[in-house]
């Protein structure tokens, strides 16, 4: 349980080829984490998606895709969820969040790509209603997040680095279930 499991929406069928990847914004954000790790081995991102071999979108959901997602989640210490206006409640995203939170108790670090500072997420040091409204994009997340600690951060390299290194958001050393954010 040492990896970070990245959960994000991609339109299906998804192809990682140049056109498919760049047309899917959340995949680009995931690749940004991979790029930061590639450029700096000290960046605290360990990609759980690298713990099993890749599968094709045409693979059978029950026999191949779902078991692979679950195996990757079992190899993880937390979930990094990219959540934006573009997020859609896909079958894969529902499965990742449901199994990760409700079966494994994985803490969630929610990254909001449309925001770049901790202050941009807040009003009077409280998460903006617009941010909270995004939780409904994935009802299983909204309805289960009270079971695990969730940290809500902008797409900011320094804050992501800090969050990934924070033991309060790792399954074996997690803090109490609550909604957390960095205050201004």
Q: Per-residue pLDDT tens for 78-111?
A: 999 999 999 999 888 999 999 999 999 999 999 9
- Cα 176 from Cα 113, distance rounded (Å): 26
**3-state DSSP assignment of residue 170:** coil
54 versus 158: which is more confidently predicted? 158
pLDDT value of position 59: 52
DSSP H/E element including 114 = none
**Model's pTM, two decimal places?**
0.89
pLDDT value of position 66: 80
Of residues 133, 146, 88, 135, the one with CA closest to residue 110? 135
Question: Per-residue confidence at 63, pLDDT binned at 50, 70, 90?
Answer: low
Strand partners, 151: 109, 180
Of residues 118, 114, 69, the one with CA closest to residue 91? 69
Cα 112 off chain centre by: 10
**3-state DSSP assignment of residue 89:** coil
Does 122 score more than 60 pLDDT? Answer: yes
Contact status, residue 144 vs residue 97, Cβ threshold 8 Å: yes
């Amino acid at each position: 349980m040492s990896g970070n499991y990245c959960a994000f929406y991609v339109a299906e069928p998804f192809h990682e080829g140049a056109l498919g990847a760049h047309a899917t914004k959340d995949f680009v954000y995931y690749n940004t984490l991979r790029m930061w790790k590639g450029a700096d081995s000290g960046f605290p991102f360990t990609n759980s998606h690298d713990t099993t071999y890749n599968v094709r979108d045409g693979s059978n959901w029950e026999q191949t895709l779902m078991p692979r997602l679950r195996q990757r989640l079992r190899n993880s210490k937390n979930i990094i969820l990219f959540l934006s206006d573009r997020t859609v409640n896909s079958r894969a995203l529902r499965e990742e969040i449901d199994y990760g939170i409700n079966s494994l108790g994985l803490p969630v670090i929610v990254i909001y790509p449309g925001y770049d500072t901790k202050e941009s997420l807040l009003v009077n040091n409280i998460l903006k209603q617009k941010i909270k409204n995004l939780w409904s994009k994935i009802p299983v997340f909204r309805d289960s997040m009270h079971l695990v600690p969730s940290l809500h951060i902008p797409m900011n390299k320094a804050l992501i680095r800090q969050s990934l290194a924070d033991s309060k958001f790792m399954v074996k050393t997690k803090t109490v279930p609550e909604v957390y954010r960095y205050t201004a």
